[in-house]
Amino acid sequence: MTASTELPMGFAATAVVEEDPDLALLSRIATGDQEAIEELYRRHGRLLLGQLQFMVDQPALAEEVLQDTMLAVWRGARTFRGGSRVRTWLLGIARRQARDRMRRRRPTPMADSELAERPSPNPGPEAIAVERAEARRMVTAISTLAPTHREVLGLVFGAGLSLAEVARVLEVPLGTVKSRLHAARAALSRTMNEKDVNE
């Protein structure tokens, strides 16, 4: 391990994540480096917010949970054990923060209008119209799925985690992740097919 990634006392990383580029940032956060937490936020804030929006019912609430997550990272950077990539660890913290927040609230349907209205990076108005219609259709279909299905789809396809990483984030066996993903895909396919038939 080089001097730039030397870990502070009590920082329990292992060889599993020595090549993780975020490890040096987490090491600096563990020593109280504010610039490092800002950089970690720049690198992963959008990903975390996107995943949180799958889990909680309001965009503003997702942003609050994201702030809670970053505070938990600031306070707990020394507890990182190195059994996963830093990104996987962050998603696990975000999930626990969201779960704790939702336990204190009565569940309500997720507001997906902001996700459906995202502007297209493509310049043509026809492309924008088609993309928005498809996004609305997909968001509507996903919003009808069970929370466990929305969550696993978000982690696999939104966050790009491997199934093993998803198992760590969700704190369930790998087989359970595979079953949930299979069921989520099947449910999404059924929902999309029903929409095609009804349109």
CA–CA separation, 86 vs 127, rounded Å? 36
- Non-local CB neighbours of 184 within 8 Å, separated by 6+ positions: 145, 148, 149, 150, 152, 153
pLDDT tens digits for range 34-81: 999 999 999 999 999 888 888 887 888 889 999 999 999 999 999 888
Q: Give, in degrees to the nearest 5, the angle at Cα 143 between 59 and 42.
A: 40
Give the model's pLDDT for residue 176.
Answer: 92
**Confidence class for position 189, pLDDT limits 50, 70, 90:** confident
Mean pLDDT of the chain: 78
Q: Where are the domains of the chain?
A: 1-111
Tokens coding 20: 């993780």
Tokens coding 68: 């809670």
Residue type at position 23: L
CATH numeric code, 1-111:
1.10.1740.10
pLDDT tens digits for range 122-170: 445 666 555 666 767 777 777 788 888 888 888 888 788 889 988 988 8
Give the model's pLDDT for residue 127.
Answer: 60
C-beta of residue 73 within 8 angstroms of C-beta of residue 93: yes
Report, as an integer, the average pLDDT of 181-186: 88
Q: Above pLDDT 90, what percent of the chain?
A: 27
C-beta of residue 155 within 8 angstroms of C-beta of residue 161: yes
Give the model's pLDDT for residue 93.
Answer: 93
Residue 183 phi/psi, 5-degree rounding, is -65, -40
Give the model's pLDDT for residue 106.
Answer: 55
